[in-house]
Amino acid sequence: MDIAVGSVRQITQVAMAIKVAADTVQKNKSDCRKIAARINRLTAVLSWLESTGMARHPAMSAMLEELEGTMDQALTLVKACQEKNGIAHLFSAKSLSKDLRQVNQDISERMMDAMFATSAQVTITLVTQIQEGALVPACLQTQDAGIFERSTAIGPSECINYCVEIVFEEGSEDVNVPSYLTKFSFSEIEVATNNFSEQNLIGEGSLFTIYKGVLPDGCEVVIKRPRAGCDIGFPVQLQHENVVATLGYCLDGLGEMVVEEYMPNGTLSEIIKGSPRRLDWPSTFHIIRGIAHGLAYLQTMCVVHSDLKLDNIFIDSRMNPKIFSSERFKILLEQGVTEIVTEESVSTMGNAPPEYITDGIISMKSDVFSFGVLLLRTLFGMGRLELDQHPIVWAWEVKEAQRIKDLFNSSSCDESEITEIVRGTDIALLCTQMEPSDRPSITDVLKMLNGKEKLPVPKRPRFTENKRREAAAEEEKQEEHAVLR
């Protein structure tokens, strides 16, 4: 059996034992159940890593080994909270509670090690349980509010609306659809997509297939067609120059199709990785600032994107960035509510914030973290740098070694531009702080991007310290081998 697969299965078995034990504890019930809840999320992440083959990545082996030890310790501590357990007498009540909180923190850190172990960007989708929820947030109640269906909420919060979508019931009239959206007939969509031909197919999502279409007036559009049994819906009242615009819709037997504006330059990921033309700093900064403006707009509309990444940023014909939603749902937060908890995880490994991965916490600061990772990926993409580690780890290493200036060609960047790149790296590190409270708001990010004031000093994340120690140990080992030769 593959070592990584064996480790995942062993960890999963211990996790099941912890969850069973947590249900029967007689003391420290709150701490034990917090551990069980975090482990429930951890096992889902590990199962996903195994199914996608990511668990076999060389960078994962040490993390899995450490995680096994942490899980064994957690099981011992939870069992000690069972009144009749033989090991309970080994712990004082005070030390046991302290140790439980520490092992819960250790589990969180091991999860971070897993999420940021590589430079890979792979989307995570975890199975969820959905419960009845609340109505449309007050901040989005407009004259068209009747088009919203009653939302579903996830987890204990009653302040989450999980749909920024119009979803038509069979036989319903679309009388409340905003006037700026065009209703297309099915035959018009068929003609536009050449009868949904393979040549017009440009992408696929978990809920829909994406086609390029051409309308009778020559306008190029994107058409999202739902898979059987899926209602994809479409965003309502989101109109901003840095957000992909919905132009119209079509009611089909499979569900509603969505017509959106077409982006001729593709995604930011394609431009960075596939374009022979290297982005200069003015173009890069224009894109970065545009994304920040689009994100700030979404937040004024109480929307959390929750999967901000290079593949979800499209570039129009004038090189303006536009934020795209790759999934059906966006998260809406009520005014006055700062965060919600969800059992769902549909995000991208390495881009999602730690509180989302470990505990399912979603807030406006979640997108700030993802923006910081996106900013770093854009910067090293501009420099055509090859990375074998997560960009946050890379950024801290080059920052502390003061090598950022050396990584960008002086022939393509002048001194003032390199200074701005260094500043951009520092802003990204502030955005990717592990604690949400340590991250700036997206409004503050815009001020930092546009200003020259001195920036706050970011805190180095603990998982990057682990990487630094591992690198130092490996370097020392290589030096010893060199001496022996």
Catalogue the active-site residues.
Answer: 307
Give, for 365, the enclosing helix (H) or strand (E): helix 364-382
- Looking at residue 256, its amino acid is E
Residues 6+ apart with CB under 8 A from 377: 121, 272, 309, 310, 391
| CA proximity to 196, closest of 158, 152, 236, 226 | 226
Contact predicate 190/196, CB 8 Å: yes
- Looking at residue 360, its amino acid is G
Distance CA 36, CA 15 (A): 8
Instruction: List Cα–Cα distances, 88 to 23, 73, 76, 136, in angstroms.
Output: 16, 14, 9, 49
How many other C-beta atoms are found inside a 10 Å radius of the C-beta of residue 459?
12
Euclidean distance between the first and final Cα of the chain, in Å?
35
Paired strand residues for 341: 361
- Concatenating the DSSP letter of every residue in 49-117 gives HHHHTGGGSHHHHHHHHHHHHHHHHHHHHHHHTSTT-TTGGGS-HHHHHHHHHHHHHHHHHHHHHHHTS
3-state secondary structure of 148: strand
Supply angle C-alpha 341, 345, 349, rounded to 5. Answer: 125
Contact predicate 358/124, CB 8 Å: no
Helices (H), strands (E): how many in the chain?
13, 17
* DSSP code, position 406: G
- Concatenating the DSSP letter of every residue in 208-250 gives EEEEEEE-TTS-EEEEEEEPTT-----B-S---TTBPPEEEEE
Using CA atoms in the order 87, 89, 94, 98, what is the torsion angle rounded to 10 degrees?
-10
Residue recorded with tokens 């000093």 = 457
On the CB side of 207, how many CA atoms lie within 13 Å of its CA? 18
